[in-house]
Structure 1
Protein backbone atom coordinates (compact mmCIF):
# COMPACT_ATOMS: atom_id res chain seq x y z
CA UNK A 1 0.00 0.00 0.00
CA UNK A 2 1.29 3.47 -0.98
CA UNK A 3 0.43 4.82 2.48
CA UNK A 4 -1.36 3.34 5.49
CA UNK A 5 -4.79 4.89 6.04
CA UNK A 6 -6.59 4.07 9.26
CA UNK A 7 -9.12 5.38 11.75
CA UNK A 8 -7.59 5.98 15.17
CA UNK A 9 -9.96 7.08 17.94
CA UNK A 10 -12.33 8.54 15.32
CA UNK A 11 -9.64 10.52 13.47
CA UNK A 12 -8.53 9.70 9.93
CA UNK A 13 -4.77 9.09 9.93
CA UNK A 14 -2.37 8.73 6.99
CA UNK A 15 1.17 7.54 7.67
CA UNK A 16 4.02 5.70 6.02
CA UNK A 17 7.77 5.31 5.58
CA UNK A 18 7.94 7.08 2.24
CA UNK A 19 7.10 10.52 3.64
CA UNK A 20 8.27 9.54 7.15
CA UNK A 21 5.27 11.50 8.37
CA UNK A 22 1.89 11.24 10.06
CA UNK A 23 -1.01 13.33 8.77
CA UNK A 24 -4.20 13.31 10.84
CA UNK A 25 -7.47 15.25 10.78
CA UNK A 26 -9.37 16.34 13.85
CA UNK A 27 -12.99 15.13 13.86
CA UNK A 28 -16.07 15.59 16.00
CA UNK A 29 -15.96 13.92 19.43
CA UNK A 30 -12.25 13.08 19.15
CA UNK A 31 -10.30 13.28 22.41
CA UNK A 32 -7.34 15.25 21.09
CA UNK A 33 -5.21 14.79 24.21
CA UNK A 34 -5.49 11.01 23.92
CA UNK A 35 -5.10 11.06 20.13
CA UNK A 36 -1.90 13.12 20.30
CA UNK A 37 -0.37 10.67 22.76
CA UNK A 38 -1.04 7.91 20.22
CA UNK A 39 0.33 10.01 17.33
CA UNK A 40 3.57 10.69 19.20
CA UNK A 41 3.84 7.04 20.19
CA UNK A 42 3.30 5.97 16.58
CA UNK A 43 5.93 8.44 15.39
CA UNK A 44 8.44 7.11 17.90
CA UNK A 45 7.69 3.49 17.05
CA UNK A 46 7.94 4.04 13.26
CA UNK A 47 10.70 6.68 13.46
CA UNK A 48 8.59 9.25 11.63
CA UNK A 49 10.12 12.71 11.41
CA UNK A 50 7.02 14.91 11.23
CA UNK A 51 3.47 14.91 12.60
CA UNK A 52 1.01 17.12 10.73
CA UNK A 53 -2.49 17.79 12.03
CA UNK A 54 -5.51 19.55 10.52
CA UNK A 55 -7.69 21.09 13.20
CA UNK A 56 -10.44 23.62 13.78
CA UNK A 57 -10.27 26.58 16.15
CA UNK A 58 -11.27 24.43 19.12
CA UNK A 59 -8.31 22.10 18.64
CA UNK A 60 -5.56 24.66 18.05
CA UNK A 61 -4.79 25.42 21.68
CA UNK A 62 -4.59 21.72 22.53
CA UNK A 63 -2.12 21.06 19.73
CA UNK A 64 -0.04 24.13 20.61
CA UNK A 65 0.16 22.97 24.22
CA UNK A 66 1.62 19.69 22.95
CA UNK A 67 4.41 21.38 20.98
CA UNK A 68 2.70 21.91 17.61
CA UNK A 69 3.08 25.16 15.66
CA UNK A 70 0.75 26.63 13.02
CA UNK A 71 2.11 26.36 9.47
CA UNK A 72 -1.03 27.35 7.53
CA UNK A 73 -4.49 28.79 8.19
CA UNK A 74 -7.60 28.61 6.01
CA UNK A 75 -10.42 30.99 7.02
CA UNK A 76 -13.80 29.25 7.09
CA UNK A 77 -12.43 25.84 6.16
CA UNK A 78 -15.14 24.14 8.19
CA UNK A 79 -18.58 24.77 6.70
CA UNK A 80 -17.50 28.18 5.48
CA UNK A 81 -17.54 29.66 9.00
CA UNK A 82 -14.92 28.01 11.24
CA UNK A 83 -11.23 28.54 10.52
CA UNK A 84 -8.98 25.55 9.85
CA UNK A 85 -5.32 25.18 10.77
CA UNK A 86 -2.44 22.94 9.76
CA UNK A 87 -0.08 22.43 12.69
CA UNK A 88 3.17 20.49 12.81
CA UNK A 89 5.45 18.90 15.35
CA UNK A 90 8.90 17.56 14.47
CA UNK A 91 10.20 14.51 16.37
CA UNK A 92 13.28 14.95 14.18
CA UNK A 93 14.26 18.64 14.38
CA UNK A 94 16.45 18.36 11.26
CA UNK A 95 13.26 17.81 9.25
CA UNK A 96 12.26 21.38 10.12
CA UNK A 97 15.36 22.94 8.52
CA UNK A 98 15.56 24.25 4.93
CA UNK A 99 18.78 25.30 3.25
CA UNK A 100 19.27 28.92 2.14
CA UNK A 101 18.77 28.11 -1.55
CA UNK A 102 15.40 26.42 -0.91
CA UNK A 103 14.23 29.29 1.29
CA UNK A 104 15.01 31.82 -1.47
CA UNK A 105 13.32 29.71 -4.18
CA UNK A 106 10.18 29.23 -2.07
CA UNK A 107 9.99 32.99 -1.42
CA UNK A 108 10.42 33.79 -5.13
CA UNK A 109 7.72 31.30 -6.18
CA UNK A 110 5.30 32.80 -3.66
CA UNK A 111 5.97 36.34 -4.86
CA UNK A 112 5.53 35.50 -8.55
CA UNK A 113 2.46 33.31 -7.95
CA UNK A 114 0.68 35.88 -5.79
CA UNK A 115 1.35 38.57 -8.42
CA UNK A 116 -0.60 36.40 -10.87
CA UNK A 117 -3.72 36.35 -8.70
CA UNK A 118 -6.90 37.07 -10.66
CA UNK A 119 -10.39 38.09 -9.59
CA UNK A 120 -12.82 35.16 -9.63
CA UNK A 121 -14.55 36.53 -12.72
CA UNK A 122 -11.32 36.85 -14.69
CA UNK A 123 -10.05 33.28 -14.57
CA UNK A 124 -11.99 31.44 -17.29
CA UNK A 125 -10.40 30.17 -20.48
CA UNK A 126 -12.22 28.12 -23.09
CA UNK A 127 -10.90 24.57 -23.13
CA UNK A 128 -9.71 23.38 -26.58
CA UNK A 129 -12.29 21.19 -28.30
CA UNK A 130 -9.90 18.25 -28.58
CA UNK A 131 -9.72 17.98 -24.77
CA UNK A 132 -12.39 16.34 -22.63
CA UNK A 133 -12.81 16.09 -18.86
CA UNK A 134 -14.68 13.22 -17.26
CA UNK A 135 -15.13 11.72 -13.81
CA UNK A 136 -13.25 8.44 -13.47
CA UNK A 137 -14.83 5.28 -12.07
CA UNK A 138 -13.28 2.11 -10.65
CA UNK A 139 -13.03 0.72 -14.20
CA UNK A 140 -10.55 3.54 -14.97
CA UNK A 141 -8.22 2.82 -12.04
CA UNK A 142 -5.79 0.74 -14.10
CA UNK A 143 -5.59 3.60 -16.65
CA UNK A 144 -4.90 5.93 -13.73
CA UNK A 145 -2.20 3.57 -12.47
CA UNK A 146 -0.64 3.54 -15.96
CA UNK A 147 -0.46 7.35 -15.91
CA UNK A 148 1.34 7.17 -12.56
CA UNK A 149 3.79 4.64 -13.99
CA UNK A 150 4.60 6.97 -16.88
CA UNK A 151 4.88 10.05 -14.66
CA UNK A 152 7.08 8.33 -12.07
CA UNK A 153 9.00 5.95 -14.34
CA UNK A 154 12.28 6.72 -12.59
CA UNK A 155 10.70 6.95 -9.13
CA UNK A 156 8.67 3.72 -8.79
CA UNK A 157 8.17 4.21 -5.03
CA UNK A 158 5.90 7.19 -5.89
CA UNK A 159 3.48 5.16 -8.03
CA UNK A 160 -0.04 4.86 -6.66
CA UNK A 161 -1.76 1.64 -7.71
CA UNK A 162 -5.32 0.60 -8.51
CA UNK A 163 -5.93 -1.00 -5.10
CA UNK A 164 -4.90 2.25 -3.39
CA UNK A 165 -7.36 4.21 -5.55
CA UNK A 166 -10.08 1.75 -4.50
CA UNK A 167 -9.22 2.44 -0.86
CA UNK A 168 -9.50 6.19 -1.48
CA UNK A 169 -12.84 5.75 -3.27
CA UNK A 170 -14.20 4.03 -0.15
CA UNK A 171 -13.08 7.14 1.78
CA UNK A 172 -15.22 9.44 -0.39
CA UNK A 173 -12.59 10.47 -2.91
CA UNK A 174 -13.49 11.37 -6.48
CA UNK A 175 -11.30 11.07 -9.55
CA UNK A 176 -11.21 13.26 -12.66
CA UNK A 177 -9.22 13.02 -15.86
CA UNK A 178 -8.36 15.26 -18.79
CA UNK A 179 -8.33 13.27 -22.04
CA UNK A 180 -7.18 13.85 -25.60
CA UNK A 181 -8.36 11.31 -28.19
CA UNK A 182 -9.07 8.83 -25.44
CA UNK A 183 -5.64 9.16 -23.80
CA UNK A 184 -5.46 10.27 -20.15
CA UNK A 185 -3.14 13.29 -19.95
CA UNK A 186 -3.83 14.74 -16.50
CA UNK A 187 -5.58 13.34 -13.44
CA UNK A 188 -6.86 14.90 -10.22
CA UNK A 189 -8.05 13.25 -7.02
CA UNK A 190 -10.48 15.05 -4.73
CA UNK A 191 -11.11 14.26 -1.07
CA UNK A 192 -14.74 15.30 -0.55
CA UNK A 193 -15.68 16.08 3.06
CA UNK A 194 -19.44 16.59 3.18
CA UNK A 195 -19.52 17.16 6.96
CA UNK A 196 -17.06 20.05 6.65
CA UNK A 197 -18.35 21.36 3.28
CA UNK A 198 -14.85 21.35 1.81
CA UNK A 199 -12.85 19.55 -0.85
CA UNK A 200 -9.12 18.91 -0.95
CA UNK A 201 -7.38 18.40 -4.28
CA UNK A 202 -4.96 15.77 -3.05
CA UNK A 203 -3.17 14.75 -6.23
CA UNK A 204 -2.32 16.08 -9.68
CA UNK A 205 -0.45 13.89 -12.17
CA UNK A 206 0.50 14.92 -15.71
CA UNK A 207 1.69 12.68 -18.56
CA UNK A 208 5.44 13.40 -18.97
CA UNK A 209 5.00 14.22 -22.69
CA UNK A 210 2.55 17.03 -21.82
CA UNK A 211 4.28 18.76 -18.92
CA UNK A 212 4.72 22.50 -19.24
CA UNK A 213 1.49 22.97 -21.22
CA UNK A 214 -0.51 24.06 -18.14
CA UNK A 215 -3.26 21.50 -18.87
CA UNK A 216 -3.98 21.28 -15.13
CA UNK A 217 -5.51 24.76 -15.51
CA UNK A 218 -8.60 23.27 -17.16
CA UNK A 219 -9.04 20.63 -14.46
CA UNK A 220 -8.89 23.29 -11.73
CA UNK A 221 -11.41 25.35 -13.69
CA UNK A 222 -13.72 22.33 -13.94
CA UNK A 223 -13.41 21.52 -10.23
CA UNK A 224 -14.34 25.10 -9.30
CA UNK A 225 -17.41 24.84 -11.52
CA UNK A 226 -18.43 21.69 -9.62
CA UNK A 227 -18.47 23.33 -6.17
CA UNK A 228 -22.28 23.30 -5.90
CA UNK A 229 -22.48 19.72 -7.11
CA UNK A 230 -19.80 18.69 -4.61
CA UNK A 231 -21.59 20.56 -1.83
CA UNK A 232 -18.47 22.46 -0.84
CA UNK A 233 -17.83 26.03 0.21
CA UNK A 234 -14.04 25.79 0.19
CA UNK A 235 -11.50 24.06 -2.05
CA UNK A 236 -7.93 23.69 -0.85
CA UNK A 237 -4.77 21.99 -2.01
CA UNK A 238 -1.09 21.49 -1.22
CA UNK A 239 1.39 22.37 -3.97
CA UNK A 240 5.15 21.89 -4.17
CA UNK A 241 6.56 25.17 -2.90
CA UNK A 242 9.24 25.22 -5.64
CA UNK A 243 6.82 24.61 -8.53
CA UNK A 244 6.19 27.86 -10.40
CA UNK A 245 3.57 26.33 -12.71
CA UNK A 246 1.03 24.91 -10.27
CA UNK A 247 1.38 27.74 -7.74
CA UNK A 248 0.70 30.26 -10.53
CA UNK A 249 -2.20 28.14 -11.85
CA UNK A 250 -4.01 28.18 -8.51
CA UNK A 251 -3.30 31.87 -7.97
CA UNK A 252 -4.72 32.70 -11.41
CA UNK A 253 -7.89 30.88 -10.38
CA UNK A 254 -8.32 33.18 -7.39
CA UNK A 255 -6.87 30.81 -4.78
CA UNK A 256 -5.28 32.47 -1.73
CA UNK A 257 -2.00 31.38 -0.12
CA UNK A 258 -2.63 30.01 3.38
CA UNK A 259 0.92 29.12 4.41
CA UNK A 260 3.77 26.68 3.81
CA UNK A 261 4.19 23.20 5.28
CA UNK A 262 7.92 22.69 5.84
CA UNK A 263 9.51 19.57 4.29
CA UNK A 264 6.11 17.95 4.20
CA UNK A 265 6.49 15.03 1.79
CA UNK A 266 8.80 13.19 -0.57
CA UNK A 267 8.42 14.24 -4.21
CA UNK A 268 10.45 12.08 -6.55
CA UNK A 269 13.74 11.88 -4.60
CA UNK A 270 13.63 15.00 -2.43
CA UNK A 271 11.71 16.14 0.63
CA UNK A 272 9.57 19.12 -0.43
CA UNK A 273 7.81 21.91 1.42
CA UNK A 274 4.22 22.45 0.30
CA UNK A 275 2.27 25.69 -0.18
CA UNK A 276 -1.36 25.52 0.92
CA UNK A 277 -3.83 27.36 -1.33
CA UNK A 278 -7.58 27.79 -0.81
CA UNK A 279 -10.56 29.12 -2.74
CA UNK A 280 -13.84 30.26 -1.17
CA UNK A 281 -17.01 31.35 -2.88
CA UNK A 282 -17.55 35.05 -2.23
Structure 2
Protein backbone atom coordinates (compact mmCIF):
# COMPACT_ATOMS: atom_id res chain seq x y z
CA UNK A 1 0.00 0.00 0.00
CA UNK A 2 1.22 3.58 -0.59
CA UNK A 3 3.37 5.07 2.14
CA UNK A 4 4.03 8.43 0.46
CA UNK A 5 0.63 9.96 1.14
CA UNK A 6 0.58 13.58 2.29
CA UNK A 7 -0.07 13.47 6.01
CA UNK A 8 0.68 15.06 9.32
CA UNK A 9 4.08 16.61 9.81
CA UNK A 10 4.72 17.61 13.40
CA UNK A 11 6.97 20.63 13.65
CA UNK A 12 8.46 22.92 16.27
CA UNK A 13 9.15 26.56 15.50
CA UNK A 14 10.91 28.96 17.87
CA UNK A 15 11.43 32.70 17.73
CA UNK A 16 12.87 35.22 20.15
CA UNK A 17 9.66 35.35 22.21
CA UNK A 18 7.68 32.23 21.31
CA UNK A 19 7.75 28.48 20.64
CA UNK A 20 4.99 26.64 18.77
CA UNK A 21 4.55 22.87 18.45
CA UNK A 22 2.13 22.28 15.61
CA UNK A 23 0.83 19.72 13.19
CA UNK A 24 0.86 20.74 9.53
CA UNK A 25 -2.06 18.65 8.34
CA UNK A 26 -2.17 18.76 4.54
CA UNK A 27 -4.73 15.96 4.24
CA UNK A 28 -7.30 17.96 6.20
CA UNK A 29 -6.16 21.42 5.10
CA UNK A 30 -5.70 22.52 8.69
CA UNK A 31 -3.10 23.63 11.19
CA UNK A 32 -3.37 22.16 14.69
CA UNK A 33 -1.33 23.77 17.46
CA UNK A 34 -0.83 21.22 20.24
CA UNK A 35 1.49 23.19 22.49
CA UNK A 36 3.12 26.62 22.76
CA UNK A 37 4.90 29.05 25.02
CA UNK A 38 5.63 32.77 24.82
CA UNK A 39 3.65 35.84 23.82
CA UNK A 40 0.17 34.84 22.73
CA UNK A 41 -0.27 37.72 20.25
CA UNK A 42 2.97 36.77 18.47
CA UNK A 43 1.90 33.12 18.47
CA UNK A 44 -1.48 34.00 16.97
CA UNK A 45 0.10 36.04 14.15
CA UNK A 46 2.50 33.20 13.35
CA UNK A 47 -0.35 30.69 13.22
CA UNK A 48 -2.25 32.90 10.78
CA UNK A 49 0.85 33.32 8.60
CA UNK A 50 1.68 29.58 8.53
CA UNK A 51 -1.91 28.67 7.64
CA UNK A 52 -2.00 31.18 4.78
CA UNK A 53 1.41 30.12 3.49
CA UNK A 54 0.26 26.50 3.13
CA UNK A 55 -3.27 27.36 1.89
CA UNK A 56 -4.85 25.75 4.96
CA UNK A 57 -8.50 26.68 5.44
CA UNK A 58 -8.68 26.05 9.20
CA UNK A 59 -6.32 26.54 12.11
CA UNK A 60 -6.88 25.91 15.77
CA UNK A 61 -4.89 26.10 18.95
CA UNK A 62 -5.28 24.05 22.12
CA UNK A 63 -5.18 27.08 24.36
CA UNK A 64 -4.44 27.20 28.05
CA UNK A 65 -6.99 28.80 30.34
CA UNK A 66 -4.97 32.02 30.72
CA UNK A 67 -4.94 32.61 26.95
CA UNK A 68 -8.33 31.73 25.50
CA UNK A 69 -9.91 35.12 26.18
CA UNK A 70 -6.99 36.90 24.53
CA UNK A 71 -7.38 34.64 21.49
CA UNK A 72 -11.12 35.34 21.47
CA UNK A 73 -10.38 39.07 21.41
CA UNK A 74 -8.10 38.53 18.39
CA UNK A 75 -10.90 36.97 16.37
CA UNK A 76 -10.73 33.27 17.25
CA UNK A 77 -13.83 31.36 18.29
CA UNK A 78 -14.09 28.73 20.98
CA UNK A 79 -15.33 25.43 19.54
CA UNK A 80 -14.83 23.10 22.47
CA UNK A 81 -13.02 22.28 25.71
CA UNK A 82 -10.60 19.40 26.17
CA UNK A 83 -11.36 18.81 29.86
CA UNK A 84 -8.26 17.98 31.87
CA UNK A 85 -5.99 17.97 28.81
CA UNK A 86 -2.93 19.63 30.38
CA UNK A 87 -2.27 17.34 33.39
CA UNK A 88 -5.75 18.05 34.71
CA UNK A 89 -6.10 21.63 33.47
CA UNK A 90 -8.45 22.34 30.55
CA UNK A 91 -7.43 23.13 26.98
CA UNK A 92 -9.68 25.38 24.90
CA UNK A 93 -10.07 24.75 21.19
CA UNK A 94 -9.72 28.22 19.65
CA UNK A 95 -10.32 28.18 15.90
CA UNK A 96 -9.88 30.51 12.96
CA UNK A 97 -10.90 30.06 9.32
CA UNK A 98 -9.58 31.26 5.97
CA UNK A 99 -12.56 30.01 3.97
CA UNK A 100 -16.28 30.68 4.36
CA UNK A 101 -17.31 27.24 3.12
CA UNK A 102 -15.03 25.62 5.70
CA UNK A 103 -16.48 27.85 8.42
CA UNK A 104 -20.11 27.01 7.55
CA UNK A 105 -21.65 23.79 8.82
CA UNK A 106 -24.06 22.04 6.46
CA UNK A 107 -25.73 19.80 9.05
CA UNK A 108 -25.67 21.71 12.36
CA UNK A 109 -29.37 21.41 13.19
CA UNK A 110 -29.46 17.71 12.29
CA UNK A 111 -26.40 17.19 14.46
CA UNK A 112 -28.12 19.01 17.32
CA UNK A 113 -31.06 16.61 17.03
CA UNK A 114 -28.73 13.60 17.07
CA UNK A 115 -26.94 15.01 20.12
CA UNK A 116 -30.21 15.48 22.02
CA UNK A 117 -31.17 11.87 21.27
CA UNK A 118 -27.78 10.72 22.55
CA UNK A 119 -28.01 12.82 25.73
CA UNK A 120 -31.37 11.24 26.57
CA UNK A 121 -29.87 7.72 26.67
CA UNK A 122 -29.13 5.96 29.98
CA UNK A 123 -25.51 5.75 31.08
CA UNK A 124 -24.28 2.15 31.18
CA UNK A 125 -22.10 1.31 34.17
CA UNK A 126 -21.82 -2.40 33.45
CA UNK A 127 -18.66 -3.92 32.03
CA UNK A 128 -19.70 -6.33 29.25
CA UNK A 129 -17.83 -9.57 28.67
CA UNK A 130 -16.32 -10.65 25.37
CA UNK A 131 -18.73 -12.91 23.39
CA UNK A 132 -17.74 -16.59 23.52
CA UNK A 133 -17.13 -16.75 19.76
CA UNK A 134 -14.76 -13.76 19.83
CA UNK A 135 -11.46 -12.76 21.40
CA UNK A 136 -10.01 -9.36 22.33
CA UNK A 137 -6.36 -8.39 22.72
CA UNK A 138 -3.80 -5.62 22.51
CA UNK A 139 -2.55 -5.25 18.93
CA UNK A 140 1.05 -6.01 17.94
CA UNK A 141 3.24 -4.57 15.19
CA UNK A 142 2.47 -7.53 12.93
CA UNK A 143 -1.24 -6.57 13.07
CA UNK A 144 -0.62 -3.33 11.15
CA UNK A 145 -1.48 -4.88 7.79
CA UNK A 146 -4.87 -6.27 8.80
CA UNK A 147 -5.68 -3.08 10.72
CA UNK A 148 -5.03 -1.03 7.57
CA UNK A 149 -7.30 -3.36 5.60
CA UNK A 150 -10.09 -2.91 8.14
CA UNK A 151 -9.89 0.89 7.89
CA UNK A 152 -9.82 0.67 4.08
CA UNK A 153 -13.08 -1.29 4.16
CA UNK A 154 -14.85 1.05 6.58
CA UNK A 155 -13.81 4.54 5.50
CA UNK A 156 -14.01 6.03 2.02
CA UNK A 157 -11.74 8.82 3.27
CA UNK A 158 -10.12 9.25 6.66
CA UNK A 159 -8.27 12.10 8.41
CA UNK A 160 -5.04 10.06 8.59
CA UNK A 161 -3.71 7.43 6.14
CA UNK A 162 -4.91 4.46 8.20
CA UNK A 163 -5.25 2.44 4.96
CA UNK A 164 -1.45 2.42 4.84
CA UNK A 165 0.05 -0.37 6.97
CA UNK A 166 3.37 1.48 7.14
CA UNK A 167 1.61 4.45 8.71
CA UNK A 168 -0.27 2.23 11.21
CA UNK A 169 3.01 0.59 12.22
CA UNK A 170 4.61 4.04 12.59
CA UNK A 171 1.85 5.16 15.01
CA UNK A 172 2.42 2.01 17.07
CA UNK A 173 6.14 2.65 17.29
CA UNK A 174 5.37 6.22 18.41
CA UNK A 175 3.23 4.99 21.30
CA UNK A 176 -0.35 4.67 20.03
CA UNK A 177 -1.98 1.53 21.43
CA UNK A 178 -4.62 -0.49 19.58
CA UNK A 179 -7.08 -3.02 20.91
CA UNK A 180 -8.83 -5.37 18.51
CA UNK A 181 -11.60 -7.96 18.46
CA UNK A 182 -11.29 -11.09 16.32
CA UNK A 183 -13.72 -13.80 15.32
CA UNK A 184 -12.37 -16.99 13.75
CA UNK A 185 -9.03 -15.24 13.20
CA UNK A 186 -10.71 -12.38 11.32
CA UNK A 187 -10.25 -8.83 12.58
CA UNK A 188 -13.77 -7.43 13.01
CA UNK A 189 -13.37 -4.38 15.27
CA UNK A 190 -10.60 -2.09 16.49
CA UNK A 191 -9.95 1.16 18.33
CA UNK A 192 -6.86 3.03 19.44
CA UNK A 193 -5.61 5.46 22.07
CA UNK A 194 -3.07 8.07 21.00
CA UNK A 195 -1.14 8.83 24.17
CA UNK A 196 0.39 12.16 25.19
CA UNK A 197 2.56 11.12 28.15
CA UNK A 198 3.81 14.69 28.78
CA UNK A 199 0.33 15.94 29.69
CA UNK A 200 -1.19 12.58 30.75
CA UNK A 201 -3.96 12.57 28.15
CA UNK A 202 -5.03 10.24 25.36
CA UNK A 203 -7.30 10.54 22.34
CA UNK A 204 -9.62 7.60 21.73
CA UNK A 205 -9.73 7.25 17.97
CA UNK A 206 -9.67 4.95 14.92
CA UNK A 207 -12.90 3.22 15.97
CA UNK A 208 -14.10 0.78 13.32
CA UNK A 209 -16.31 -2.31 13.21
CA UNK A 210 -17.26 -4.41 10.20
CA UNK A 211 -20.96 -3.77 9.36
CA UNK A 212 -22.00 -7.39 10.01
CA UNK A 213 -20.78 -7.14 13.62
CA UNK A 214 -22.20 -3.77 14.65
CA UNK A 215 -24.73 -3.22 17.47
CA UNK A 216 -23.12 -6.01 19.54
CA UNK A 217 -21.37 -3.73 22.03
CA UNK A 218 -17.89 -4.38 20.64
CA UNK A 219 -16.83 -0.74 20.72
CA UNK A 220 -17.73 -0.47 24.40
CA UNK A 221 -15.55 -3.52 25.03
CA UNK A 222 -12.62 -1.93 23.22
CA UNK A 223 -12.97 1.45 24.95
CA UNK A 224 -13.14 -0.27 28.37
CA UNK A 225 -9.96 -2.19 27.55
CA UNK A 226 -8.17 0.93 26.32
CA UNK A 227 -9.21 2.88 29.42
CA UNK A 228 -7.84 0.16 31.71
CA UNK A 229 -4.56 0.24 29.80
CA UNK A 230 -4.41 4.05 30.05
CA UNK A 231 -5.08 4.02 33.80
CA UNK A 232 -2.22 1.55 34.24
CA UNK A 233 0.01 4.09 32.46
CA UNK A 234 -1.10 6.99 34.72
CA UNK A 235 -3.09 8.73 31.99
CA UNK A 236 -5.74 10.93 33.63
CA UNK A 237 -7.67 12.46 30.70
CA UNK A 238 -9.37 10.57 27.88
CA UNK A 239 -11.07 12.39 25.03
CA UNK A 240 -12.47 11.65 21.60
CA UNK A 241 -13.75 13.40 18.50
CA UNK A 242 -16.80 11.66 17.01
CA UNK A 243 -18.55 12.44 13.75
CA UNK A 244 -21.46 14.66 14.76
CA UNK A 245 -23.67 12.84 12.22
CA UNK A 246 -22.97 9.43 13.79
CA UNK A 247 -25.53 8.48 16.43
CA UNK A 248 -23.72 5.23 17.24
CA UNK A 249 -20.26 6.50 18.17
CA UNK A 250 -21.60 9.49 20.11
CA UNK A 251 -23.90 7.12 22.00
CA UNK A 252 -20.98 4.83 22.88
CA UNK A 253 -18.99 7.63 24.50
CA UNK A 254 -21.94 9.22 26.29
CA UNK A 255 -23.07 5.92 27.74
CA UNK A 256 -19.54 5.24 28.98
CA UNK A 257 -19.49 8.40 31.06
CA UNK A 258 -17.91 10.87 28.63
CA UNK A 259 -19.34 14.39 28.58
CA UNK A 260 -19.99 16.54 25.54
CA UNK A 261 -17.78 19.64 25.40
CA UNK A 262 -18.41 21.19 22.00
CA UNK A 263 -18.43 20.69 18.25
CA UNK A 264 -15.56 21.42 15.88
CA UNK A 265 -16.85 22.70 12.54
CA UNK A 266 -15.67 20.81 9.42
CA UNK A 267 -12.71 19.61 11.39
CA UNK A 268 -11.51 16.76 9.19
CA UNK A 269 -12.13 14.88 5.96
CA UNK A 270 -13.85 11.64 6.94
CA UNK A 271 -16.00 9.26 4.88
CA UNK A 272 -16.42 11.58 1.89
CA UNK A 273 -16.42 15.18 3.08
CA UNK A 274 -15.28 17.61 5.75
CA UNK A 275 -17.37 16.82 8.82
CA UNK A 276 -18.23 18.44 12.13
CA UNK A 277 -16.82 16.52 15.10
CA UNK A 278 -18.27 16.33 18.61
CA UNK A 279 -15.73 16.58 21.43
CA UNK A 280 -16.18 14.14 24.34
CA UNK A 281 -13.95 13.96 27.41
CA UNK A 282 -13.70 11.93 30.61
CA UNK A 283 -11.52 11.98 33.70
CA UNK A 284 -9.90 8.60 34.26
TM-score class, shorter: 0.7 to 0.9
Deviations 1:64-107 (A, max 9, x none): 34422111113322222x112111111113211123xx122111
2:123 is aligned to: 118
> Matched residue pairs, number?
274
Aligned counterpart, 1:57:
65
SS at match of 2:153: helix
Q: Which has the larger displacement, 135-144 or 30-39? A: 30-39
- 133, 138, 147: which one pairs with 2:150? 147
Deviation string 1:237-277 (CA, Å, 9 cap, x unpaired) is: 00000100010111110110011001111112121100000
Query: CA offset at residue 199 of structure 1?
Result: 1.0
CA contact (8 A) 1:235 1:280 kept: yes
CA deviation digits over 1:115-146, x for unaligned, max 9? Answer: 12516xx2422221222222222221111111
Query: Alignment partner of 1:43: what SS?
Result: helix
Measured in 1, the distance between the counterparts of 2:68 and 2:122 equals: 29
Corresponding residue of 2:100 = 93
- TM (norm. structure 1) is 0.87
- Give the aligned partner of residue 141 of structure 2: 138
How many Å separate the matches in 2 of 1:174 and 1:205? 15
> What RMSD in Å do the two structures reach over aligned CA positions?
2.4
Partner of 1:48: 56
Uncovered stretches (5+) of structure 2, i.e. residues with no partner: 14-18
Question: What pairs with 1:1-282 in structure 2 (closer than 5 Å)?
Answer: 1-9=5-13, 11-27=20-36, 29=37, 32-80=40-88, 82-99=89-106, 102-118=107-123, 122-152=125-155, 154-155=156-157, 159-160=161-162, 161-281=164-284
**Aligned equivalents of 1:32 and 1:133: distance in 2?**
45
CA distance in 1, matches of 2:70, 2:222: 37
**CA shift for structure 1 position 110:** 1.0
Take 2:159 and 2:23, find their aligned partners in 1: how far apart are those partners? 17
Query: TM-score by structure 2 length?
Result: 0.86
